[in-house]
Amino acid sequence: MIVDPDCIFCKIVAGTLPAFKLHEDEHTLAFMDINPISPGHCLIIPKTHFANVFDGTDAPLAAVMATTRRVAVAVRDALQPDGMNLFQANGPAAGQTVYHFHMHILPRTAGDGLLRGGHGMQAGDKAVIAGHADRIKARL
């Protein structure tokens, strides 16, 4: 297993830093975010260290997603939020602050004003969208 001795999440996995653990298995760890955006905000991490989705491989990423679903169902059933965001950030421009891949489970309340955005509010230029699609497909 790859670890970074300076990584706060690797220290939680190793047990040298405390955490409010929710679930642990061979490949993943789920715990409460101690700087929550909303009540019930939790994190799911792979036990092996990699900084972001680009550095990870399929197996640990799949394990994180399976644990994310399991914990999201438990959060839904326990806290009964109005909705829920699952998100993950890569790099400073995306808001990543801990450089150990992790998923956020963010319970939401109607009208909470969190993560507001204009997604779906204005149609994009179809030619530009088609060009982006072609460039992306060429890399797959």
Rounded to whole angstroms, the Cα distance separating 51 from 135 reads: 25
Catalytic residue among 41, 102, 104, 132: 102
102 given a catalytic annotation: yes
List active site positions: 102
